[in-house]
């Protein structure tokens, strides 16, 4: 199963990707997490990406396409994968097609902009493993500590209110057209994001089966 999760920043793609990853035993690949890891390690890629990310802008297509190409070539992707945060532009989707990768299903998680603002401003992520939490909706068992790996949970720089606005703008402008792109292939399923993570998960798993 080769799967794409679409949706606005903070729609819950990462959270659902983790669930599907456990459920289907295929890796969840987040370009955002890969870039943040590069940033933390001070690599050339990280340096290139930093200014875009901090401003809520997209990293240039060539850069993320190269990242995905390298990642999808690894052994653990051969039985399938979940893409979270890629593609984010039509040229990125075209690049995926040009690699000869067949996508089985695209799940678009829909959440209204106002709800996104609330969610992102309360989001915390693990510095070490990238797991995602929310101070109100999905707190870690111990404040500031990741349930999964014991790492430190922090607020992302791009989760500040002005940057959230810019990211939503970028989403509507550049990423939302992908709905039409995948609608045409008949692979698109829409899931209405629910307030409760578990409810969204149930709908997402149903969309996978149908």
Tokens at 168, concatenated: 């939503």
Question: Which amino acids are annotated catalytic?
Answer: 13, 88, 123, 156, 167
62-121 residues in contact with ligand ADP (CB under 6 A) are 64, 85-86, 88, 92
Which range binds ligand ADP by CB under 6 A, 16-24, 27-35, 96-104, 178-186? 27-35
128 binds, among ligand ADP, Zn ion, none (CB under 5 to 8 A by kind): Zn ion
Q: How far is the CB of 3 from ligand ADP (least distance, A)?
A: 15
For residues 22 and 40, give the distance between their C-alpha atoms in angstroms, rounded to a whole number. 26
Q: To which residue do tokens 């008949």 refer?
A: 186
Contact 165, 147 (CB under 8 A): no
Q: Which of 3, 10, 96, 124 binds ligand ADP (CB under 6 A)?
A: 10
Q: How far is the CB of 53 from Zn ion (least distance, A)?
A: 20
* Best CA proximity match to 26, nearest among 96, 75, 93: 75
Query: Going residue by residue from 36 to 55, which x/- string records binding to ligand ADP, judged by CB under 6 A?
Result: ----------------xx--
Contact 14, 115 (CB under 8 A): no
46: burial class by Cβ within 10 Å (0-12, 13-18, 19+)? middle
Dihedral-angle region of residue 6 (phi above 0 means left; psi in -120 to 50 means alpha; beta otherwise): beta
Site membership for ligand ADP, residue 5 (CB under 6 A): no
50 binds, among ligand ADP, Zn ion, none (CB under 5 to 8 A by kind): none
Q: How far is the CB of 35 from ligand ADP (least distance, A)?
A: 5
Buried b (16+ CB within 10 A) or exposed e, 111-140: beeeebeebbebbbbbeeebbbbbeeebeb
**Which residues would be at the binding site for Zn ion (CB under 5 A)?**
126, 128-129, 131, 146, 148-149, 151
What does the chain come to in residues? 210
Query: Going residue by residue from 171 to 190, which x/- string records binding to ligand ADP, judged by CB under 6 A?
Result: --------------------
Residue nearest to ligand ADP as judged by C-beta position: 32
27 binds, among ligand ADP, Zn ion, none (CB under 5 to 8 A by kind): none
Q: To which residue do tokens 């690894």 refer?
A: 74
Query: Residues in the site for ligand ADP, rule: CB under 6 A?
Result: 9-10, 30-32, 35, 52-53, 56-59, 64, 85-86, 88, 92, 158, 167
């Amino acid at each position: 199963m080769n799967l794409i999760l679409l949706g606005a920043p903070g729609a819950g793609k990462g959270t659902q990707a983790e669930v599907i990853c456990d459920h289907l035993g295929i890796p969840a690949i987040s370009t955002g997490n890969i870039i943040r890891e590069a940033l933390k390690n001070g690599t050339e890629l990280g340096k290139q990406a930093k200014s875009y990310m901090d401003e809520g802008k997209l990293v240039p297509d060539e850069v993320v396409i190269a990242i995905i190409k390298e990642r999808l070539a690894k052994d653990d992707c051969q039985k399938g994968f979940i893409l979270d945060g890629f593609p984010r532009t039509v040229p990125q989707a075209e690049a995926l097609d040009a690699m000869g990768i067949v996508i089985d299903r695209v799940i678009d998680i829909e959440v209204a902009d106002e709800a996104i603002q609330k969610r992102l401003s309360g989001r915390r992520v693990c510095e070490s493993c990238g797991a995602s939490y929310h101070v109100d909706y999905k707190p870690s068992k111990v404040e500031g500590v990741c349930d999964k790996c014991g790492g430190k949970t922090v607020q992302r720089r791009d989760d500040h209110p002005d940057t959230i606005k810019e990211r939503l703008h970028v989403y509507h402008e550049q990423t939302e057209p992908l709905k039409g792109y995948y609608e045409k292939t008949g692979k698109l399923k829409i899931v209405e994001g629910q307030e409760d993570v578990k409810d969204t998960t149930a709908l997402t798993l149903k969309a996978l089966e149908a």
